[in-house]
Amino acid sequence: MLEERKKMVEDLVARNYIKTEKVKKAMEKVPRENFVPPEHRMSAYLDQPLPIGEGQTISAPHMVAMMCEVLDLERGMKVLEVGTGCGYHAAVVAEIIGEEGKLYTIERIESLYKRAKEKLKDYKQVKVIHADGTEGWEEAAPYDRIYVTAAAPDVPEPLKRQLKVGGKLLIPVGRDRFYQDLLLVEKLSEDNFKTKNLGGVAFVPLIGKYGWRF
């Protein structure tokens, strides 16, 4: 499915979702078909979310590209992902930060955690964790970048605490299940944050102590 992957990347470049060579190379390298359920394999390179089980989805490729661009990831960075899902987004980030980087990714649903851990086993810079992602991962903090792949009612305080000064946090926030705002939060000092609204998105709810409680 290499040709389909190349066409998807070319389309994302043409639509200006992919702006940098590092994001382009990462998305060219990661086989999205390996991360979706077998029954959706033939749809892997359509630019749309796909179900991955447990009521969860894999984000559309354009959203993965956009989030990677906005985060301005660099080689060697230490990154926290909240919401591993199938592991595709983590794989793209791992390609960008390189083997000298480190990605901690948290998944609360055990079946998805186990599946993602297997899918990501060849990425030595990735640690997959089964826990409540709304609490972050204190033991490896602070992080250069934090991003969340599910929508929260507010920005979880533990994530703001665990972000380095000068770091960036990207998270969908909103009270409607089907429409939220994608917020980019920059930490200017320990107690001072700058927030930019990047527009409307639609993500599954972020469940946990500092998220939604269903």
Tell me the whole-structure pTM to 2 decimals.
0.96
59 catalytic, yes or no?
yes
Residue 82 DSSP SS3: strand
Predicted pLDDT of residue 176:
65
Catalytic residue among 43, 59, 111, 189: 59
Contacts of 21 by beta carbon, 8 Å cutoff, 6+ apart: none
Predicted pLDDT of residue 75:
98
Q: How far apart are CA 72 and CA 166, in angstroms?
A: 12
* DSSP element (H, E) containing 203: none
Predicted pLDDT of residue 177:
65
Joined tokens for residue 138: 């204190």
φ/ψ region of 177 (left if φ > 0, alpha if ψ in -120 to 50, else beta) reads: alpha
* CATH (residue range 2-201): 3.40.50.150
Predicted pLDDT of residue 214:
67
Predicted pLDDT of residue 30:
98
How does pLDDT run along the chain (214 residues), one tens digit per residue? 899 999 999 999 999 999 999 999 999 999 999 999 999 999 999 999 999 999 899 999 999 999 999 999 999 999 999 999 999 999 999 999 999 999 999 999 999 999 999 999 999 999 999 999 999 999 999 999 999 999 999 999 999 999 999 999 999 999 766 689 999 999 999 999 999 999 999 999 999 999 998 6
Q: How far apart are CA 14 and CA 155, in angstroms?
A: 32
* DSSP element (H, E) containing 197: strand 192-201
Predicted pLDDT of residue 33:
97
